[in-house]
Chain A
Amino acid sequence: MFGRGLRSLSIASLVLVTSAFALVFFYAPNEADQGFVQKIFYLHVPLAIVALSGFVAGGVYAVRYLQTGDRAHDLRSYVAIHLSLIFGIGVLATGSIWAKASWGAWWVWDEPTLVSFLIVFLLFACYQPLRFSIDDPERQARYAAVFAIIGGAFVPLNFLAVRLAESLIHPRVLSTTGGAMPGEMRLTFLISFVAMVCLFVTLWKYELASKHASMRLRALKRSLAGDEAAGPLARTAAPTQI
């Protein structure tokens, strides 16, 4: 059900990520101002865009869950947010390393882009504890969906607010007026972005397939060996049935 196309997606991810890294280090020229350290851009920015899009996707699936009551959408929303949090850790780590190299500080608190991403990350970091705190699976899914929708709607609003705010040091590369990346840099960035999207979708489907297999296995155990053999269902943040 969820694992369809996983093999081809995995191969595509491997090829794309390898190609992207090869382009970053052997094709894209060094940026005139920052030099070699700007290579972090091809990792940090696609990771950030994909992580934020994943939060929005979590919100979209939450809407679909509330519309249809289909628990598969709750699972999709949960996994999208879970993966976005992992990608978010990557964004914060790579961003901090880049900041230290370029600005001499691991973190700059008065920079809207950095702080806004941290706020979004911390907001969604509450998603799993919220789910964990609710015992009833039906209520858990419903409350989590409401949270995911509000959080998901907050992401573009937050992005817009940051764009409108005056940036102090964080560059605005992808804008209608700025940017002007040379062809080699633009191509490398695009391949890196597609690679990151492909990797996200692959891991998303991978985790969905794993969770679904686990649920089906539990149901099978219950029907074959009875409730006692299956044991009591431990409280978990993840959806337990679809």
Chain B
Amino acid sequence: MTPALPLDDAGPYVAGAYLVFLALILLYVAIMATKLARIERELVELSELAERRREAPAEEQEEPEAVPR
């Protein structure tokens, strides 16, 4: 039996289907990667904030307690 499409004609369709799938997955991973980069950026900001707080003098952080008379 002769196939409906010879190899030369079927090749681009098969390649197209597999490339569409690959492109879809790559696009998804790329979008997730940008989100991950944003999370990392925010994490760096938060670490810097935590670091600044740690370096700040202890007396500025603590409120003086009211002494009952």
Q: A210-B32, A210-B39, A220-B46 are in contact. Are A34 and B21 (CB under 8 A)?
A: no
Q: Is the CB of B4 within 8 A of A37?
A: yes
Q: A90-B21, A98-B17 are in contact. Are A214 and B35 (CB under 8 A)?
A: yes
Interface residues of A in 67-118 (CB under 8 A from B): 86, 89-90, 93-94, 97-98, 100-102
Complex CA distance for A86 and B25, rounded to whole angstroms: 9
Q: Which of B5, B18, B35, B42 contacts A34 (CB 8 A)?
A: B5
CB <8 Å contact, A213 and B28: no
Given A35-B10, A224-B50, residue A93 in contact with residue B17 (CB < 8 A): yes
> Could you tell me if B21 and A47 are in contact, using CB atoms closer than 8 angstroms?
yes
User: Is the C-beta of A27 less than 8 angstroms from some C-beta in chain B?
Assistant: no
Contacts of A206 in B (CB 8 A): 32
Question: Are A40 and B49 interface neighbours, CB within 8 A?
Answer: no
Whether the pair A37, B5 counts as a contact (CB closer than 8 A) is yes
**A207-B32, A221-B42 as given contacts; A33 in contact with B16, CB under 8 Å:** no
Is B67 in contact with chain A by the CB < 8 A criterion?
no
Enumerate chain B interface residues (CB-CB to A < 8 A). Answer: 1, 3-7, 9-11, 13-14, 16-18, 20-21, 24-25, 28, 32, 35-36, 39, 42-43, 46, 49-50, 53
A30-B3, A86-B24, A221-B42 given. 11 additional CB < 8 A pairs? A21-B18, A33-B3, A35-B10, A36-B11, A37-B3, A90-B20, A97-B20, A101-B13, A210-B39, A217-B42, A225-B49
